[in-house]
Structure 1
Amino acid sequence: MSGGGRVVERVRDLPTPEGPGRAHVCRPARSRGTVVLGHGAGGGLHSLDLTVAREVLVAAGWAVAVVEQPWLVAGRRIAGRPPTLDAAWVPMVTALMSGRGRLPRPLVVGGRSAGARVACRTAAELEADAGLLLSFPLHLPGRPDRLRDAELALAPDPTWLVQGTRDPFGSPDELAPYVPRWAEVIEVPGAHSFPKGARPALVEALTRIAGLLPG
């Protein structure tokens, strides 16, 4: 996946105040930095956008860790409340970036949907160098009156958003007034979850982002 270079793949169990979490790490030799991505409230680790992000970024020389929240590791079907997600995410990312076998900086935080929200809320505490937000949920479907723009404003500088053109949680046009000046939205055909046919557009978008990430 990294242009013929060696990639080490491993799974790490990580303790958190909310119970054990888990990280699926792909690390190329001489990594440029690290991208840590969280999943959505549905718990899918193999959504198309997360899969393509991992493939493209590892191929570009980045270490990528896809992190499972403790509620998913425990086999529960319903995600925890935002404060519990943040309380688990911060020590997991900290553990990946410190101690023996630590992953290299710069650090890019992100994820899809609920994972993107967690990444924004905790970016400052983790001293993240950039953000990668996939399908950021600006509001619940049909509830544009209840915005999460305050969370989006916490995204690190710089940040890239990959958003479906028909996303009922917030289209690119809906996002536009709330995107920080240091962030960029890249539109990809699809809704909140991307169809298989969106793979070429996702590869193009994430390849472009990989070339712009600080590192």
Structure 2
Amino acid sequence: MKATETAPRTETVDTEAGTARISWLPAREPRLLLALGHGAGGGIEARDLRALAAVLPACGVSVALVEQPWRVAGKKLAPAPKTLDTGWRGLWPVLAASGLPVVAAGRSAGARVACRTASGLGARAVLALSFPLHPPGRPEKSRKDELLASGVPTLVVQGGNDPFGRPAEFPPGEYRIAEVPHGDHGFAVPKRSGVTEDQAMEILTSAVTGWLAGIV
């Protein structure tokens, strides 16, 4: 599916964690809403989030790019996971008011938030981009319980060389995993890999659109 550029409509939402912001990219005839949160090291400008936002509306999936209150406030460090969950829960009613089934999604820390809160919020499914299975070099500090407890259909898209957890490190469970070959935590690929940045994003968006096609 060819990507298209669409100017989003933005909306601020007051939560107990502060003011969050949603950038809406609606599909013409939507059947799902993908609520897409960012990680702890960046915002909604991340390459994977932008790639999905450009492609999905043409596939009947509206996209809501969610900025947590700490990013809206201009802070450089993310707060504790509990505070991230509070911000996400606080803006969920606005997402649900779309009347569409909502797929909770995020990259890295945002993927953890989506997994932790999905069942309680009534998310239809979870998309976890670059799920940080463990801190780099610390596989014993596993966060697998968060992933396994999502309670809804879940797709993990993981870089083949992600230091926060390579695909082969993920435990068995009732979720699907798709690999972006040679990708790091941000899905960047080395030139020597033979995979271009554009190809990496095509692999990612194809995996997500294919999976979302089966979410009803």
> Under a length normalisation based on structure 2, what TM-score does the superposition of the two structures give?
0.88
- Once residues 212 and 47 of structure 1 are traced to their aligned partners in structure 2, the CA distance between those partners, rounded to angstroms, is 21
- Once residues 141 and 102 of structure 2 are traced to their aligned partners in structure 1, the CA distance between those partners, rounded to angstroms, is 30
1:115 and 2:107 matched = no
- Once residues 149 and 47 of structure 1 are traced to their aligned partners in structure 2, the CA distance between those partners, rounded to angstroms, is 24
Aligned pairs (5 A) from 1:90-169 = 90-98=89-97, 103-169=98-164
CA displacement at 1:2 relative to structure 2: 8.5
TM-superposition CA deviations, 1:53-106 (whole Å, max 9, x none): 2122122111100101001111111101000000110121222222xxxx2322
CA displacement at 1:42 relative to structure 2: 1.0
CA contact (8 A) 2:28 2:57 kept: no
CA contact (8 A) 1:32 1:104 kept: no
- Once residues 3 and 140 of structure 1 are traced to their aligned partners in structure 2, the CA distance between those partners, rounded to angstroms, is 33
Residue from 172, 185, 189 that aligns with 1:192 = 185
Which residue is 2:11 aligned to? 12
Q: Call closer, same or farther: CA 1:35–1:139 in 2, change over 3 Å.
A: same
- Give the fraction of aligned pairs with identical amino acids, expressed as a percent: 43
Q: Call closer, same or farther: CA 1:148–1:38 in 2, change over 3 Å.
A: same
CA contact (8 A) 2:162 2:184 kept: yes
TM-superposition CA deviations, 1:109-149 (whole Å, max 9, x none): 11100000000000011111111111000011111111101
Tell me: higher relative CO, structure 1 or 2? Use CA pairs within 8 A at least 6 residues apart: 1
- Once residues 30 and 7 of structure 2 are traced to their aligned partners in structure 1, the CA distance between those partners, rounded to angstroms, is 11
For structure 2, list consecutive stretches of 5 or more residues without a partner in the other structure.
Answer: 190-195
Q: How many matched pairs?
A: 207
Q: Which runs of 4+ in 1 moved over 4 A?
A: 1-4
For structure 1, list consecutive stretches of 5 or more residues without a partner in the other structure.
Answer: none
Which residue is 1:69 aligned to? 68
Quote the RMSD (CA, aligned, Å).
Answer: 2.1
